[in-house]
Chains A and B, each alone.
Chain A
Amino acid sequence: MNDLELKAAARRNRNSWILTAPALLWLTVFFLIPYLIVVVYSFLTPDIYEVKFRLSLTSYLDVVSSAYLRSLFLAFKLAFQTTAICLLIGYPVAYFIARSSEKIKNTLLILIIIPFWTNLIIRIFSWRIFLSYNGVLNDTLMRIGLISSPLEIMRTDLAVILVMVYVYLPYMILPLYSVLEKIDFTLLQAAMDLGANEAKAYFKVTLPLSAEGIFAGSILVFIPALGAYLIPQLVGNQQSLYIGQIITYKIKNIPRNWPLASALSLVLLFLVALLLVLMFTAYKRRKDKLKGLVA
């Protein structure tokens, strides 16, 4: 590189710093620094309204109490169940749309997306109307004589999973669709021409090619599901409290306990980070292996 080129590169580098500075500053002040404050608050002394600025380790001793560990476990269980069911239902749906004719593809996709654009709280509220004790479902089932007394679905763990799947299903379908849509289905035909039966062709060709979508969709469902607050709060019960609810109660409701909420948030953050690192490593290893096979 000559002098002129070096100067131009330096100038471009400086321009990039100038252009990215506002967002960098914003994310530092309102995204990174707040987490430092969470760390600081987790070591303070709780107070029923705010915090006392005196060092304490009580919040970390509290974290390992069985009630909070149970909430953490419940959140992971819920996130896992939601992801698994979304994948099980979402895959055939995405596959169906991807293999539909070009003309109707977009319409089918929009059908999936419209509920996703509808306000979250309204979607949850509509399930309350549908599922409640004297709601539409029970009313209809009783009218046609399928049941004699109303089913109690609202305020159960089943209702929570049902609404979670309802809300997060599009997050699974869309990334799955976008990879399935790109798959060259002549490969599948080729595999079958070479003697693979349909099931074998599917497991050897289509499924590995859609791994990226499965991965993306699972992250998009699992991570927000871990922090679920609104859905368990509106359709769940007080016997199964999820970690998102505990954190919110400790921040908002009196008696508050901000150090505990901070410590629980940090534990959740740590587990999410650990999970992401594990998933990405596994994914990369798989991809490298595939590359190795091709080469």
Chain B
Amino acid sequence: MKLNLSPAKLYKSLNLTIFTAVIVFLYIPILILVIFSFNDAKIITSWKGFTFKYYQLLLQNTDIKYAFQNTILIAVLSTLLSTVLGVLTALGLENKAFKGRKGIQLLIYIPLVIPDILMGVSLALLFNFVRINTGMFTVLIAHITFCISYTIIVIQSRLEGFDHSLVEAAMDLGAKPAQVFWKVKFPLMMPGIVAAALLAFTLSIDDFIITFFTSGRGFDTLPIYVEGTIRRGAITTINSLSTLMITFTLFLVVVSKRIRKIIL
């Protein structure tokens, strides 16, 4: 009997196998982390029973509270500023005949293709050179710097993608430039602006290395706090903290889907 397996089917089942393996690979460590956040044991080893103890410890920890507040503060401020800069710049670059277009576009792309660590080093040395004490202010500057390239590019791609005949129609119908912008163009840009803001927010709360170089002692964001704690080996609350952060991420995913649905 001939085996009924064409190469196409074989490839397909092979791809399915690889896909499944990759999903397992991607989720196993995270699942283990979540499960073990409820484990009643000081070190990570095997299962010793269910407990909420480490969540209680987490809530009492003021360092974590401050780190969380710092993270959110920096994320909100850098998202706002980098998104505003993104909107302005994308609008300015829309003009194809603009003399500075090529140069500025290049300047926007370069930070994306350079390892993050180099931005961290260069900003650390800048702040040292001009004698600015590192802290919240320097972290904020750094976060805006690495976010703006992303926000500009995301908003630009939206500006290029939408139906410009709508803008022309509004002008033909006699709308004033300000009206055209606020009533037609800006609403059309909105999905791009939201996407850019969400990206900036995620990049900001996720960043470790650039913050590591630009934050001084006494200004920890959550990633900096977590790294320090792991390094010191005092990791009892890190599992539960991580679980909460993963929950927060899932929450953001859901919220962003909702926002997009409402705006689109």
* CB-contacts of A5-40 with B (<8 A): 9, 12-13, 15-20, 22-24, 26-27, 30-35, 37-38, 40
Contact status A199-B121, CB under 8 Å:
no
Query: In whole Å, how far is B148's beta carbon from the nearest beta carbon of chain A?
Result: 6
Docked Cα-Cα span, A35 to B235, in Å, equals 37
Indicate if B74 sits at the interface (CB-CB under 8 A). Answer: no
Chain A interface, >50% SS class: helix
Indicate if B135 sits at the interface (CB-CB under 8 A). Answer: no
Contact status B45-A125, CB under 8 Å:
no
The residue on B at minimum CB distance from A243 is B117
A-side contacts of B202, CB under 8 Å: 117
Interface segment among A62-70, A126-134, A207-215, A281-289: the answer is A126-134
Q: Find B19's partner among A50, A96, A234 (CB 8 Å cutoff).
A: A96
Indicate if A61 sits at the interface (CB-CB under 8 A). Answer: no
Contact status A258-B111, CB under 8 Å:
no
* CB-contacts of B180-207 with A (<8 A): 202, 205-206
Contact status A244-B115, CB under 8 Å:
yes
Contact status B242-A272, CB under 8 Å:
no
The residue on A at minimum CB distance from B71 is A119
With A37-B129, A96-B16, A265-B118 as contacts: A126 and B253 at CB distance below 8 Å: no
Per-position binary interface string of chain A over residues 257-295, scored 1 when its CB falls under 8 Å from any chain B CB and 0 otherwise? 010011001001100100010000000000000000000
Contact status B125-A19, CB under 8 Å:
no
Docked Cα-Cα span, A291 to B150, in Å, equals 31
The residue on B at minimum CB distance from A275 is B113
Indicate if B22 sits at the interface (CB-CB under 8 A). Answer: yes
Contact status B26-A112, CB under 8 Å:
yes
Q: How many contacts between A and B, using CB within 8 angstroms?
A: 243
B-side contacts of A20, CB under 8 Å: 88-89, 92-93, 98, 100, 104
* CB-contacts of B243-264 with A (<8 A): 245-246, 249-250, 252-253
Indicate if A176 sits at the interface (CB-CB under 8 A). Answer: no
Contact status B36-A18, CB under 8 Å:
no
Indicate if B173 sits at the interface (CB-CB under 8 A). Answer: no
The residue on B at minimum CB distance from A135 is B44
Contact status A31-B119, CB under 8 Å:
yes
Query: In whole Å, how far is A248's beta carbon from the nearest beta carbon of chain B?
Result: 7
Docked Cα-Cα span, A222 to B9, in Å, equals 33
Indicate if B166 sits at the interface (CB-CB under 8 A). Answer: no
Indicate if B14 sits at the interface (CB-CB under 8 A). Answer: yes
With A30-B126, A135-B45 as contacts: A23 and B223 at CB distance below 8 Å: no
B-side contacts of A227, CB under 8 Å: 115-118, 209
With A18-B92, A22-B88, A92-B19 as contacts: A265 and B122 at CB distance below 8 Å: yes
* CB-contacts of B1-48 with A (<8 A): 7-8, 11-12, 14-16, 18-19, 22-23, 25-30, 32-33, 36, 43-46
Query: In whole Å, how far is B201's beta carbon from the nearest beta carbon of chain A?
Result: 11
Query: In whole Å, how far is B17's beta carbon from the nearest beta carbon of chain A?
Result: 9
Other contacts beyond A136-B44, A258-B125, A261-B121: 12, CB < 8 A: A15-B92, A16-B95, A19-B88, A20-B92, A23-B85, A37-B122, A37-B129, A96-B16, A115-B27, A125-B238, A234-B227, A252-B212
Q: List 19 A-B contacts (CB under 8 A).
A: A16-B94, A16-B101, A19-B89, A19-B91, A27-B108, A31-B111, A34-B125, A34-B126, A96-B18, A112-B23, A117-B249, A119-B242, A119-B245, A120-B206, A121-B230, A122-B246, A198-B7, A227-B115, A230-B208
